[in-house]
A and B are shown apart, each in its own frame.
Chain A
Amino acid sequence: EPEVTQTPSHQVTQMGQEVILRCVPISNHLYFYWYRQILGQKVEFLVSFYNNEISEKSEIFDDQFSVERPDGSNFTLKIRSTKLEDSAMYFCASSEELRNEKLFFGSGTQLSVL
């Protein structure tokens, strides 16, 4: 079964450093998303992406965050200057045809900011 893949599985960084989280969505899916989850708590929406542009973003997704689809397969989330409170599990997800319906999630990247 096709799956969303994320790398790395763990990322440790110093406060103020830039990090790039990588995702390969399912190939025929049209919508891509980033979510984060702090310590198994609520799943928080960050951003959705469609047709090579951001379609929606949350208040969390401020100027420190950016997303990119640099080629036909990768989808990246960049945090320019990490803060302690950015420590969380970051999930990439994709959906096939309709926005916000039947999301397939990757296994996540656990980001630890020290």
Chain B
Amino acid sequence: GQQVMQIPQYQHVQEGEDFTTYCNSSTTLSNIQWYKQRPGGHPVFLIQLVKSGEVKKQKRLTFQFGEAKKNSSLHITATQTTDVGTYFCAMDSNYQLIWGAGTKLIIKP
């Protein structure tokens, strides 16, 4: 079945450093969504990207959809402790959402 590969699995950063997670699909996507899950919490919808090459920003978060609509990234500038959690991409495939494995953002003490 269709899969989306998400890397890295973990990213340890100092507070104030940047964070990036990437999702790749072998097939062209109609759209891609991003969710955040805080530790012990539930997934929360962040954004949906639909257009080829689309770039959307939410404060310090920048979301990109590749030109070929096969990859996407989420970049956080100057991480804060409130950014801690796992970030998931999710793609619509065969009428169900297929989720990436998630990238866990860990702030070093």
List residues of chain A with CB under 8 Å of any chain B CB. 40-45, 48, 55-56, 58, 91, 99-108
Alpha-carbon gap, A43 to B90, bound state (A): 9
In the complex, chain A residues whose CB is within 8 Å of the CB of B96: 45, 48, 56, 58, 100
Of the stretches B42-50, B51-59, B60-68, B71-79, the one at the interface is B42-50
> Chain B: interface secondary structure?
strand
Q: Is the CB of B41 within 8 A of A107?
A: yes
Q: Which of A45, A48, A56, A106 has the most CB of B within 10 A?
A: A45
Total contacting residues, chain B, CB less than 8 A: 23
* Given A48-B96, A58-B96, A105-B43, A40:B33 Cβ within 8 A: no
Partner of B42, one of A48, A99, A101, A107: A107
